[in-house]
Structure 1
Amino acid sequence: MENKTNINGMNYVLAGDYYIPNLKLSNEERTIGKYGRMHRDYLKENHPMRFNHLILEGQLWTYLADLNEQAQNRLQLIIRQMQEAESVTEELKASDQLAWVRAMNSIHNRAEEIILRELIYGEVVV
């Protein structure tokens, strides 16, 4: 097989009568997780050019793994801030577990909605 470098800097390999891009996958070992998968699907459906660019550059997996870590860290930060603001403490957990579980579920759902809008779907939160 003959290798060829095109003007755009990509390497191509002659396969039969066609030159195809010689793509190399990154050695990323981190998982892309829930938020990375959600953002990948969003990019595939709504921004196919960006999605294809990330694939061709070999950066998709790293990009999604980084985004997933950012989303997880931001989610934990928002949950802690909401717990403090709404006085959802260990004392509440000890005295009324059901109320604590309700409050934590509510906090988690609202925090996750913020993450989805800000990071995963790229909307502006008002």
Structure 2
Amino acid sequence: MGENGISYTLGEDSLYYLDLYLPEETEYPIGKYGMLRKTYLKEHRKGLYLELVIAGKLNEHLHQIDEECHQVMDRLVEQMKERQGMSEELKMQDQMVWVGRMNNIRTCVEEITLNKIVYR
């Protein structure tokens, strides 16, 4: 233990090294959007990424992003379905048209979500 209250370890090369430890992190499940956010942070926002790692909050941040994306996507899909007149009646009449429109809506909503939440 040094004079300043910091502990050191003697290395094999006879030099003293600081005993640095990252704080314990709570493990949260990370989904698709959390992983995309992690990749984005590593490649484009390295400072923020390192700050979250050092503070022990990266996993929590990625989990929050994942949850937020799912909530926004669910809300936007419902709003777009209403605006485009997607109904159970259309689903019963012409399933292929309904599936095509729903795929289009989901693709658009995912693009919006990625740009507004994951890649910010």
TM-score by shorter chain over 0.5: yes
Q: Distance in 2 between matches of 1:89 and 1:19?
A: 64
Is 1:54 the counterpart of 2:52? The answer is yes
Q: Is the 8 A contact 1:37 1:64 kept in 2?
A: yes
Tell me what 1:27 maps to: 26
Q: Per the alignment, do residues 32 and 12 of structure 1 end up closer, same or farther by CA in structure 2, a change over 3 Å counting?
A: farther
SS at match of 1:18: strand
Match for residue 18 of structure 1?
17
TM-score by length of 2: 0.87
1:89-108 equivalence runs, <5 A = 89-108=87-106
Work out which of the residue numbers 69, 72, 75 in structure 1 matches 2:70: 72
Task: Quote the residue 1:109 is aligned against.
Answer: 107
Q: Contact between 1:3 and 1:14, CA under 8 Å: does it hold in 2?
A: no
- Does the C-alpha gap of structure 1 residues 43 and 90 become closer, same or farther in structure 2, counting only changes over 3 Å? same
* Shift in Å, 1:24: 2.7
**What amino acid maps onto 1:116 in structure 2?**
L
| Total equivalences in the alignment | 116
Structure 2 unpaired stretches of 5+: none
User: Contact 2:41/2:49 (CA < 8 Å) preserved in 1?
Assistant: yes
Q: Do structure 1's residue 39 and structure 2's residue 34 form an aligned pair?
A: no
Percent identity between the two aligned chains: 32
- Alpha-carbon separation, structure 1, partners of 2:87 and 2:3: 63
| Structure 1 vs Structure 2 CA RMSD | 2.1
Structure 1 CA distance for aligned equivalents of residues 84 and 57 of structure 2: 40
- Greater Cα radius of gyration, structure 1 or 2: 2
Query: Is the contact between residue 26 and residue 59 of structure 2 (CA under 8 Å) also seen in structure 1?
Result: no
**2:81 pairs with 1:86:** no
Q: Distance in 1 between matches of 2:74 and 2:66?
A: 12
Please list every run of 5 or more consecutive structure 1 residues that lacks an aligned counterpart in the other structure: none
